[in-house]
């Protein structure tokens, strides 16, 4: 199943898998770097979904560092679940329900940072949402989408999850198109690159499910990627239950940190991003 089908499950089951925890930690580091560089104090994440796994926790690290966080969604039940998660984390958050992504209910220049992660192809009006992210930002806009040039993307598209690509607008993985919309709305592009570059390909599904869909039936491998020994949870780290999790997961970040141009890493990077200034 894809993110379109599994969000409710992850509101109570925080075991996301190694790939997702890695993705969150890399994103956390990037968001904290933006905060430090641009003096971010107020944040809008719209939509709050996009990444698989637990919905609504992408901006947690910013709240932990004192930012005022606002999250937007168009699904009331998911918003209720996200509210409970943030209560569990004992962090303040402002949750807002919307019906029209091209009309966010905020005045111009409300937030220091507006951003989205991998959600444009899920919303009815991606161009309208991008314009709104520029309008309500007074400083920085950050947009990231799955990288259509990486190996796992094509494996997922043509072998593992063909149905998913019939339900989303794949044209919004085109970073050039995203940049044109942002620039037309008044943003100045200041950087582009790739994020989330672990040693494994991006299939957006558990390793055991990948093996099943590829027709691989090897009991030893299946046991390796399941059971109590294969528990990976960003929430456990946030709640203080696994304080060493970041160190364990970031051992895999050697390619992420390699001093190579981003366009060299593009065949393996899971996401592309752009940062704009308003």
What does the pLDDT look like over 107-166, one tens digit per residue?
Answer: 999 999 999 999 999 999 999 999 999 999 999 999 999 999 998 888 888 887 888 889
Domains of the chain: 6-148+168-201+231-277 (3.40.50.150)
Burial of 231 (0-12, 13-18, 19+ CB in 10 A): middle
Least confident window among 4-18, 37-51, 159-173, 207-221: 207-221
Q: What Cα–Cα distance (Å) separates residue 251 from each residue in 103, 248, 256, 272?
A: 42, 6, 10, 22
Distance CA 197, CA 265 (A): 8
What SS3 state is found at 167? coil
pTM for this model (two decimals) = 0.90
């Amino acid at each position: 199943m894809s993110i379109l089908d599994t969000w409710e499950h992850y509101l109570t089951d925080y075991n996301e898998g190694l790939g997702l925890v890695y993705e969150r930690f890399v994103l956390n580091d990037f968001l904290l770097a933006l905060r430090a560089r641009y003096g971010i104090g107020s944040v809008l994440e719209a939509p709050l979904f996009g990444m698989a796994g637990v919905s609504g926790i992408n901006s947690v690290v910013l709240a932990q560092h004192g930012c005022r966080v606002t999250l937007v969604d168009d699904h009331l039940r998911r918003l209720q679940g996200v509210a409970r998660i943030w209560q569990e984390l004992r962090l303040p958050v402002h949750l807002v329900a919307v019906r029209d992504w091209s009309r966010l209910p905020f005045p111009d220049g409300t937030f220091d940072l507006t951003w989205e992660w991998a959600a444009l192809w899920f919303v009815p009006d991606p161009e309208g949402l991008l314009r709104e992210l520029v309008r309500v930002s007074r400083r920085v806009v950050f947009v990231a989408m799955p990288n259509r040039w990486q190996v796992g993307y094509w494996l997922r598209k043509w072998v593992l999850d063909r149905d998913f690509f019939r339900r989303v607008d794949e044209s919004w993985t085109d970073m050039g198109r995203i940049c044109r919309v942002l620039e037309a709305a008044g943003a100045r592009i200041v950087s582009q690159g790739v994020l989330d570059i672990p040693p494994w390909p991006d299939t957006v599904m558990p390793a055991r499910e990948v093996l099943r869909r590829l027709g691989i039936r090897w009991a030893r491998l299946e046991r390796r990627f399941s059971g109590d020994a294969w528990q990976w949870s960003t929430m456990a780290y946030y709640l203080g239950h696994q304080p060493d999790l970041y160190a364990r997961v970031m051992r895999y970040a050697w390619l992420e940190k390699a001093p190579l141009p981003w366009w060299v890493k593009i065949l393996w990077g899971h996401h592309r991003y752009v940062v704009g200034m308003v």
